Amino acid sequence: MKIVILDGYTENPGDLSWDGLKAMGDLTVYDRTSLTDENEIAERIGDAEIAITNKTPISRNVIQQCPNLKFIAVLATGYNVIDLEACKERNIPVSNVPVYGTRSVSQFAIALLLEVCHHIGHHDKTVHEGKWAHNADWCYWDYPLIELAGKTYGLLGCGNIGIHTAEIALALGMHVIAYDGKERKEAKAMGVEYVDLDTLFAESDVLGLQMPLFPFNTGIINKENIAKMKDGAILINNSRGQMVVEEDLAEALNSGKLAAAALDVVSTEPIMDDNPLLQAKNCIITPHMSWGAKESRQRIMNTTEENLKAYLAGDPINVVNK
C-alpha cells in the first residue's frame, strides 16, 4: 500500500520520526508540493491509496486524477484545503487532528500580548547594539510598558484554546470576558464572564481572537466593529487571518484608534508583499508559528498514526466528511 505525504516539512523538519507511518505502507515524503499546480499534486499522489497533507490543496480535479485514492489524512485541525464533497462522492474518508496545540497556541497568544506590553525583542536588540552601554541613564525603555493586572481580556471564542488562554490571563490578574455560541461550565467556574458581541468589543482592553473561521466571523474585525472598541485597545490574533479586514485594522493602528496588534496569522499565507499590515504602526507579525512546538507537532504525528491505523482496520476515526 502506497502512502504519500505532500508537504511534510513544517510538521517534521527533522526533529520527529516518520517511522510509525512507514510501518504501515510504502511511504513517500515530499517536503513541499505546489499549492497551485494541480497537475503536480495529482502526479505526486499518483496511484497511492493514502494521501497526507497539511496545507497542500486536494481539489475535485486532483481527486478525479487519482482513481486509487481511498483515504486522506490532514496534518492539522483545519481541513478547508480538501474538497469534502468530492471526497464524499467517492467514499473517501477525510480525517483530521482535532486537538493537538491547545497549550502551545494559548501560550503563544499570551506571548504575543507580553511582547506588545514590553517589546522584549526590541530592547534586547538595542542592548546588543550598544545603546545601554552608552546610555546617559542607568535604564531606559523605548515604548510605554503596560501592566495587565486589572485590565479586561476579551475572548472572541472560548473553546479549548480560549479556556487555557483565559487561565493564563486570569493568573496575570486580568478580568476575562468571552463571546461564544457555547458557554462552557469550566470557563465560568474559572471566572470567565460571557457577554454579547457588542459588550465584548466595548469592554475589552485586549481583544483576542481564538475561534475557528465561520461565515459570521469572517471579516468581523472591520471598521464598524473597531469603532465600538476602546481607544487604545490591543488586538491579538493567532486564530484565522480571514477574521480581520486588514485595511481597516491598518487604518486603526495608523490613526491610533488601536494601540497595537500582534498577529500570527494573515488573510493570505505566506504573507504578500502588499499586505497593509506590514507598514502599519505598532503591528507585530509572526509567521503562523503558534502551533509549531515540538510537543504539539508530536501530538499531530501520534494522532495521524492513529487515524491511519483506524482506516486500515476498517473503522476510520476523526472523519470530517461523514
User: Could you tell me the pLDDT band of residue 63, with boundaries at 50, 70 and 90?
Assistant: very high
Q: What is the pLDDT of residue 116?
A: 98
What average pLDDT score do residues 124-150 get?
Answer: 98
- Model confidence at 165, pLDDT cuts 50, 70, 90, reads very high
Task: Report residue 168's pLDDT band, with 50, 70 and 90 as the boundaries.
Answer: very high
* pLDDT given at position 58: 98
Residue 70 has a pLDDT of: 98
CA dist 197 and 225 (Å) reads 9
The question of whether 240 is a catalytic residue gets the answer yes
| Cis bond upstream, residue 13 (ω within 30) | no
Instruction: Choose the catalytic residue: 43, 89, 129, 269.
Output: 269
Q: How confident is the model at residue 144 (pLDDT cuts 50, 70, 90)?
A: very high
Q: What is the pLDDT of residue 137?
A: 98
Q: Span 190-207, mean pLDDT?
A: 98
For 8-20, give the DSSP string.
-TTT-SSSS--HH
Q: Which of 240, 246, 297, 299 is catalytic?
A: 240
The pLDDT confidence band at residue 318, using thresholds 50, 70 and 90, is: very high
pLDDT digits (tens, 9 = 90+) for 219-262: 999 999 999 999 999 999 999 999 999 999 999 999 999 999 99
Contact 178, 155 (CB under 8 A): yes
User: For residue 98, what are the contacts with CB-CB under 8 A and spacing of at least 6?
Assistant: 77, 303, 318
pLDDT at 192 (0 to 100): 98
Segment 119-134 shows an average pLDDT of 98
3-state secondary structure of 259: strand
Active-site option among 44, 288, 297, 299 = 288
Residue 118: active-site member: no
Q: What is the pLDDT of residue 156?
A: 98
pTM over 0.75: yes
Query: Rg of the Cα trace of the chain?
Result: 22
What is residue 161's predicted lDDT score, i.e. its pLDDT?
Answer: 95
Mean residue pLDDT across the chain: 97
H or E stretch covering 253 = helix 246-255
**What cell numbers appear for 115 in the block?**
511582547
pLDDT in tens, 79-97: 989 999 999 999 999 999 9
Domains and CATH numbers, the chain: 2-100+294-312 (3.40.50.720), 102-285 (3.40.50.720)
The answer to whether residues 94 and 70 touch, using CB atoms and an 8 Å cutoff, is no
pLDDT (tens digit per residue) in 27-54: 999 999 999 999 999 999 999 999 999 9
Of the two residues 13 and 213, the one the predictor is more confident about is 13
Q: What is the average per-residue pLDDT within 160-171?
A: 97
Total residues found in the chain within this entry = 322
User: How far, in whole angstroms, is CA 169 from its chain's centroid?
Assistant: 19
Contact 143, 192 (CB under 8 A): no
Asked if 94 and 316 count as a contact pair (C-beta separation under 8 A), the reply is: no
Residue 257: the pLDDT is 98
Q: Over the stretch 283-296, which tens digit does the pLDDT of each residue have?
A: 999 999 999 999 99
